[in-house]
Structure 1
Amino acid sequence: MPTSKDMTRLWAVALVLVVAVTAGCADTATTAPKVSLTATLVPPVDIKLAWRDRGPTPAGRIVEFANAAAGPYTILGFLPPGQMSYDHRDLIPQTAFYYRVVPYYGPTTAAITRTLPPGDYDDKTQAQDHIWAEPRTVRQPAVAPRSVQGGGAPTDLKATVMNANGIKLTWTDRASDESGYLVEVKPAGSADFRVVQVLEENINSCGVVILPNEKTATYRVRAFVYGPSSNTASQITLA
């Protein structure tokens, strides 16, 4: 069962994701889709998504769903660029499901690895996290527009150990037209980074409250923009 720490982190990330992706889709709604999405019902209550992408190779893709064509949409996950399918399983019977896939692009900082000291997460630590972990903007140098080719990469990433279960990240924002920033973490022994926070544009300081498997982990920050959303694909589950 998830701990209170797990639920706090997941709730915060999910809330930002819904707002960020909805805004991103609105920004790209007038651009022709390059991602062709299909949804296939696997009776009775599983749906398999598959897509083709005619655009440039993205940093990753966001898969989202809704129960009405107009939304609101909920994030299912951030997927690596090589993944071209997704299985949505054990769904509510006799219900309509609508899907979109949104590619995102942008460069990252150099990665940095930190090991935290032993110790458990407790209520006192959680109260302290609200002080230093809040996303914020620190004074910035002049910036230049970023591009999907790699301009505007954030630099000077620093990872400061705040306690046995918390890291504070700061970086230099060198983009002027980003949709926001993604904080990505790769626990020791893992093959890939995963997105753990989505931040608004111009943010360059935030905290990460780690999960138990992240005592030693590698961090990086990505300045990103959304690509055009795919078409909407839908299916209705059976009884």
Structure 2
Amino acid sequence: MAFASGASRAALCLAFVAAGCAPAGAGDGSDAGIRLSASLTGDDVTLTWKGHGGDVTVEFATEPGGPYTILGFVPEAVARYEHPDLMPATTFYYRVRPVEGPTSDVATAVPATDRVEGEDWLVPRSVPDERAAPKPAGAPANLLVESVGPDARRLTWTDNASDEEGYLIERQVDGTFEVAFVVDANVNHVGLIGESADTYRVRAYRFGETSNVVSERTP
């Protein structure tokens, strides 16, 4: 994922933590459709799951009740995740959560029309937009991707959702989309450093029902 430096980096990391962690006591997914399994080889854990063919987050904790932290976003049609080189003599707990929600139209980067200086443009924020018409499961619209340098992109869009957990910034790589960054709900402006892709979309995401929790203890 792409992060900025300094104060902007801190702000972006806070956005990621807010989107990626869940408090202790969250649902254990005992009745969920996703069935998660784990196996341990040395100090590496391999996770596989059945019952869901869409995008998911893979999350881990070191206590049974959490808090859980996102390890990664796994695209649809992939049902496997490797968590390597783990700390010895530690129990790791895992769960998987579906990521659901409508996406914007795909947009291709165009040159920025203004002069971009400093780091303020990097900070995720909500900018007033009179075109917004929030509703449940509303799809983001009017995505604009601007190239502000060889490896820097600024994205703005219309926030039409009233029930999103946050927004996923997804880049196109080899014909498929992968998550580049995560921002909080109601955000409609973000800058990314370290991004050279030209094609993006934005997803107003919500979490589906959590899988069962599995655990492995490293030797």
**Contact in 2 for aligned 1:31/1:228 (Cα 8 Å):** no
Asked if 1:222 is matched to 2:203, the reply is yes
Name the aligned partner's letter for residue 65 of structure 1. Answer: F
Aligned to 2:136: 145
Q: Secondary structure at 1:18's aligned position in 2?
A: helix
Deviations 1:124-168 (A, max 9, x none): x8x71x21121111224332211xxxxx11111111233343222
Which structure 2 residue ranges, 5 or more long, are not aligned?
none
How far the C-alpha of 1:7 sits from its partner, in A, is 10
How far the C-alpha of 1:38 sits from its partner, in A, is 1.2
Aligned to 1:207: 191
Asked if 1:99 is matched to 2:91, the reply is no
Aligned to 1:121: none
Q: Using the alignment, how far apart are the partners of 1:30 and 1:98 within structure 2? A: 13
Which structure 1 residue ranges, 5 or more long, are not aligned?
118-124, 147-151
Q: Using the alignment, how far apart are the partners of 1:79 and 1:7 within structure 2? A: 29
**Contact in 2 for aligned 1:158/1:171 (Cα 8 Å):** yes
Q: Using the alignment, how far apart are the partners of 2:108 and 2:45 within structure 1? A: 38
**Mean Cα deviation higher: 132-141 or 99-108:** 132-141
**Mean Cα deviation higher: 174-183 or 156-165:** 156-165
How far the C-alpha of 1:74 sits from its partner, in A, is 2.6
Q: Using the alignment, how far apart are the partners of 1:12 and 1:99 within structure 2? A: 27
**Contact in 1 for aligned 2:26/2:65 (Cα 8 Å):** no
Please state which structure has a larger fraction of its residues in helix.
1
Q: Using the alignment, how far apart are the partners of 1:11 and 1:192 within structure 2? A: 29
Deviations 1:202-230 (A, max 9, x none): 1111112234xx1x421111111101111
Aligned to 1:37: 36
Q: Secondary structure at 1:193's aligned position in 2?
A: strand
**Contact in 1 for aligned 2:11/2:123 (Cα 8 Å):** no
Q: What is the percentage of aligned positions where both structures have the same residue?
A: 38
5 Å matches for 1:84-233? 84-114=79-109, 128=118, 130-140=119-129, 141-146=132-137, 152-187=138-173, 190-211=174-195, 214=196, 216-233=197-214
How far the C-alpha of 1:23 sits from its partner, in A, is 4.3
Name the aligned partner's letter for residue 210 of structure 1. Answer: G
